[in-house]
Amino acid sequence: MADEFSALRTTNGIIAEQSARPESMRADALVVFLTEGGIGSGAIATMDTSTGGLLSRLVADGELTGKRYECVPLFAAPGLQASQLVVVGLGKREDLDAGTLFRAAATASRHLASRLRTRVVMVADGSWTSRQIEQAVAGAAVGMVGQDLYRTEKKRTRFGSTIWVGASFEAVERGTIIADGVNLARRLVNTSPEDLYPQTFSEEAAAVAGRTGLEVEIWDEKRLLHERCNAILAVGRGSSRAPRLVILRYQGLENRPRGEESGPDIALVGKGVTFDSGGLSLKPSDSMITMKCDMAGGAAMLAAAATIAKLKLPINIVAAIGLAENMTGSAAYKLGDVITARNGTTIEVHNTDAEGRLVLADVLDVVRGLKPRRIVDAATLTGACMVALGCDVAGLFTNNQPWCDAVAAAARSAGEPVWQLPMYADYDEHIRGDIADIKNVGDGRWGGAITAAKFLERFVGEIPWTHIDIAGPAFAEKPRPWTDGGGTGAMVRAMVELARIPE
């Protein structure tokens, strides 16, 4: 597999240039960004002057509108050395944020990456903040990478070099590292389940840890049995490929003592069901075909931990990923089984396709024992969350409102939309078991995303915890202007922002 986290070489072909005049630069393409309402000022106005007012005329004629993610190539534009000028819309100026810039830059590079480009110049506006620039840099680097892992003829080709005019080296370097993390998560999600299963995922995690300085610990089937991780083991019993648990540690504050009195600042927990057939509660084919993406939460947390380490953020974190394959072999767990989870809670199995919460139950209990100050988990947990919020918005659930507010703020700062759903105590009754403590699904089909979150809440104790259901945004079933279909890398950027939030 490709090595996203190799040593930076002029920031992986992405170069910061603060003094050059873009109109005089030779390139296959020159990219500028336009907001609605006309040319205005800044970089786009300078480009309009350089082209003899061409852009103003096109705006007046309605050929350029500046609407979000409009991408208009102009060939042989006067006054420019570049072969083409690409104008990308940003929408209304007052609504401009880092997420819009990420997607707009990704739209431009995805458009251009359909052919080999030796040199592409992108122009940052002087009004953008450093965080906005780094998200634009990240978006451009993500947009040129497609889901071509197994194609003989690639549909997307990385640029030979990308030159960001008006961007600092620090912002370009950070943006490139963030893009590497997003692309790592996307690659893992897009990998065939024949190639990516609990053992190979854990090996990939170990390789990433080695490249980024993370400490890594991998629990195999024997260790899971010793640790009483019966819920993970139950989910994995129907597969010929045994479960794993990956624990990653990053110590960004070396002067903080480690031990029982000083746990990590944040625990990142990810669901890593590398393929979900539904088990004996078998999914129909149409629902199963994308179930290689059921490890997207684990991929996001591995990528986020690696990105935080590469950025050398001053924080201590632990990341834990529960890995299993939910299959229908002769030893598969059954409806009516009662499982005793690691923390002693007994669970009635009413649906083997509600397996992610079982995997996370044991992982959350392992993490709880490490005494983190706060926990956040990401999981493609329920189709019910997609019914509630659609395909683009992740659901938030919490036992601690200030911590949930911090997670939401980080996600929105990175341009990843989230929405909080309620966690009223009345929902606990929906998962109360008849012969065991709890059951792994609620009563009927209503409120399924919430009852799944209430199930997870049983395993975090009093530690501030927020659950992110990414069933919708983790996988794009069709292309969008800024991304090919497939894994999106959802929540990698949000988790990096979360690690940056001051106490």
pLDDT confidence of residue 501: 77
**What percentage of the chain has pLDDT greater than the value 90?**
91
CA distance 348 to 357: 13
Instruction: Write down the pLDDT at residue 502.
Output: 66
Q: Which domains, ranges and CATH numbers included, belong to the chain?
A: 10-182 (3.40.220.10), 191-500 (3.40.630.10)
Q: Give me the pLDDT at residue 10, please.
A: 53
189-234: pLDDT as tens digits: 999 999 999 999 999 999 999 999 999 999 999 999 999 999 999 9
Collect the ranges in the chain with pLDDT lower than 50: 1-3, 5-9, 259-260
Strand partners, 318: 249, 267
The C-alpha atoms of residue 306 and residue 320 are separated, in whole angstroms, by: 13
Residues forming the active site = 283, 357
Q: What is the pLDDT of residue 255?
A: 63
Cα separations (Å) of 15 from 22, 86, 164, 342? 13, 19, 6, 49
Tokens of 97: 């944020």
386: its two tokens: 């997609």
pLDDT at residue number 347: 98
**Amino acid 470: pLDDT:** 98
pLDDT of residue 256: 59
The DSSP output letter for 216 is E
